[in-house]
A = this chain, B = another copy of it.
Amino acid sequence: MRSSSSSSAHASAKHDHTKCISAALDTAEQLCVVRGVQLTPIRLQVLKLIWESHQAVKAYELLDRLKPLKQEAKPATVYRALDFLIEQGLIHRIESLNAFIGCHYSGQQHEQLLLICKECHEVEERSAPAVMDALSSEIDQAGFIAHSKAIEIHGICAKCSKETDAQG
């Protein structure tokens, strides 16, 4: 009986996720207007699907969820939308999972730390300025010119480790 408890239980608790969603979609629309790029129905729909949870989502999972809403959807449909959303900084690709997650800092800077829970698959994005400063100076010392930085940490999130404690 331990199987069903962990993956859906705490995702809905603790915070008003409808706010996460509306904030993300509002920001996305604003940014796209400002930048003169098109947040088309497909792209918006994919963004909504990604924001249904804080869990990492795979491309073919998105495709399956998109199909009922858009029968012509094919892999390219999804990958194109994902490419767009990534370019615009609205989502992140999680390299170590081949998966995607909504970005919490869309408008702003962009060097984030991702904490990826093996248990519930939720991903927490942190800006972690101290880490980023240390990282920048390390990179400078190496004489390297960084174009992109990805820090992906896998492990067990605070919520899941508490649950495990409680359940013994």
Closest to A146 in B: B155
Q: Which residues of B contact A150 (CB under 8 A)?
A: 95-96, 150-153
- The residues of A with any CB-CB pair to B shorter than 8 Å are 95-96, 113, 115, 117-118, 124, 126, 128, 130-131, 133-135, 137-139, 142-158, 161
Known: A95-B96, A131-B135. A142 touches B124 (CB 8 A): yes
* Bound CA–CA A17/B117 (angstroms): 39
Closest to A150 in B: B152
* Bound CA–CA A137/B156 (angstroms): 15
Q: Which residues of B contact A139 (CB under 8 A)?
A: 115, 153, 155
* Bound CA–CA A102/B155 (angstroms): 24
Q: Is the CB of A147 within 8 A of B156?
A: yes
Q: Is the CB of A95 within 8 A of B152?
A: yes
Q: Is the CB of B134 within 8 A of A161?
A: no
* Bound CA–CA A54/B69 (angstroms): 47
Q: Can you give 9 contacting A-B residue pairs, CB < 8 Å?
A: A113-B138, A115-B144, A124-B144, A128-B138, A131-B134, A131-B135, A139-B153, A144-B157, A149-B152
Q: Which residues of B contact A156 (CB under 8 A)?
A: 144-145, 147
